[in-house]
């Protein structure tokens, strides 16, 4: 049933990711604290994260050829992040080091059910400017897909999309964190992929039923995007464009940390796009996202392609 995955690695997707890079300070807690409450945590760890970096690492691990454009601080963490990207096989020649600035930081609480609450301090991420992308526009050449998120300055997000479409790339926007998107850039987006919270922020409707899925997707399609993929957490995902729609349910798993599930899903989507049928692509993306929920930490949780194959084959055997 999943033999098509073998074809994904024959001609690796060439991906350019433009996005954030953070240091994640993660506190494990029995439950998320209430307003004004001091709560004793279970443990604390420091790992690498940031939506852009997470997606770049996830893509590299499942076999894509990845270049990353970002900005890190001129601090110890910035140096460590660049070293980590290199270890993952990511080209980082366009990752900017900002002297005198701290690297982006995320404060993350994860409870015993794997749910999370996150506060992000942009730091050096907000020093990645449109002119940096123009200066590095050669990195937009020879790529298949362009992946970005909303943790950078809005004008930088816009500039990246304009350059990507100028070079003929498939553009994928992970619509997180929730932030207003300029109306003028929607026509430059081939695929927009918000989660439930981000969808509600963008269109004013929380998608809970299939009828609402379509209504939310239509609102975004009318703005000029070519396709919408709603990330629905444990419920799976929903795809719609002007001619078709498809709902793919999620996998039943025991989640321990959902922090990077959406980033993993989006990376899986970008990796498989154009290499399989639509339902196969969405099943693959769901699987990558599910596996990322089964380990602690953002980047540490990202699976390799062999793990995705094993997971899908085990699901097939259960269903036989």
* Residue recorded with tokens 């995007």: 225
Q: Is 263 a catalytic residue?
A: yes
Using alpha carbons only, what angle is made at residue 48 by residues 95 and 9, rounded to the nearest 5 degrees? 75
- How does 15-30 read in b/e, with b if 16+ C-beta sit within 10 Å? bbbbbbbbbbbbbbbe
For Cα atoms 285, 71, 45, give the angle at the middle one, nearest 5 degrees: 65
What order do you get walking across the sheet with 43-49 strand by strand?
43-49, 22-28, 104-110, 116-121
- What distances in angstroms separate CA 312 from CA 101, 264, 275, 280, 285, one per listed residue? 43, 15, 17, 11, 11
CB 301 within 8 A of CB 293: yes
Structure tokens at 163: 């350059």
Instruction: Name the residue among 243, 178, 249, 182 with its Cα closest to residue 210.
Output: 249
Token code pair at residue 206: 């929380």
Of the candidates 50, 1, 16, the residue with the CA atom closest to the CA atom of residue 171: 16
Tell me how far apart the alpha carbons of residues 78 and 91 are, in angstroms, rounded to a whole number.
15
Structure tokens at 22: 């953070």
At residue 315, what are phi and psi to the nearest 5 degrees?
-65, -40
121-to-21, 105, 128, 133, 251 alpha-carbon distances in Å: 11, 5, 14, 22, 33
Q: Which of 24, 75, 132, 263 is catalytic?
A: 263
Q: Which backbone phi and psi does 170 adopt, to 5 degrees?
A: -75, 125
Catalytic residues: 263
């Amino acid at each position: 049933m999943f033999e098509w995955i073998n074809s994904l690695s024959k001609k690796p997707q060439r991906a350019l990711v433009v996005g954030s890079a953070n240091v994640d300070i993660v506190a494990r807690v029995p439950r998320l604290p209430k307003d004004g409450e001091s709560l004793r945590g279970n443990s604390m760890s420091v790992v690498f994260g940031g939506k852009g970096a997470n997606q770049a690492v996830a893509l590299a691990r499942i076999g894509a050829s990845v270049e990353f454009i970002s900005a890190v601080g001129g601090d110890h963490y910035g140096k460590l992040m660049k070293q980590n990207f290199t270890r993952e096989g990511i080209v980082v020649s366009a990752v900017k080091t900002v002297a005198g600035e701290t690297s982006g930081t995320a404060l993350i609480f994860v409870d015993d059910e794997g749910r999370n609450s996150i506060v992000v301090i942009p730091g050096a991420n907000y020093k990645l400017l449109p002119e940096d992308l123009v200066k590095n526009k050669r990195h937009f050449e020879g790529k298949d897909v362009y992946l970005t998120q909303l943790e950078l300055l809005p004008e930088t997000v816009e500039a990246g999309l304009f350059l990507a479409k100028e070079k003929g790339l498939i553009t994928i926007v992970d619509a997180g964190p929730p932030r207003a998107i300029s109306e003028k850039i929607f026509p430059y987006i081939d695929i927009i992929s918000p989660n439930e919270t981000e969808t509600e922020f963008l269109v004013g409707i929380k998608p809970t039923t299939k009828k609402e899925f379509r209504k939310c997707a239509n609102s975004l399609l009318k703005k000029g995007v070519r396709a919408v993929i709603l990330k629905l957490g444990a419920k799976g995902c929903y795809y719609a464009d002007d001619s078709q729609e498809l709902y793919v349910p999620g996998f039943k798993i025991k989640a321990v940390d959902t922090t990077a599930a959406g980033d993993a899903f989006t990376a899986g989507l970008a990796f498989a796009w154009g290499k399989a049928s639509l339902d196969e692509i969405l099943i693959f993306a769901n699987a990558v996202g599910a596996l990322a929920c089964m380990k602690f930490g953002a980047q540490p949780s990202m699976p390799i392609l062999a793990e995705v194959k094993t997971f899908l084959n085990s699901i097939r055997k259960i269903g036989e």
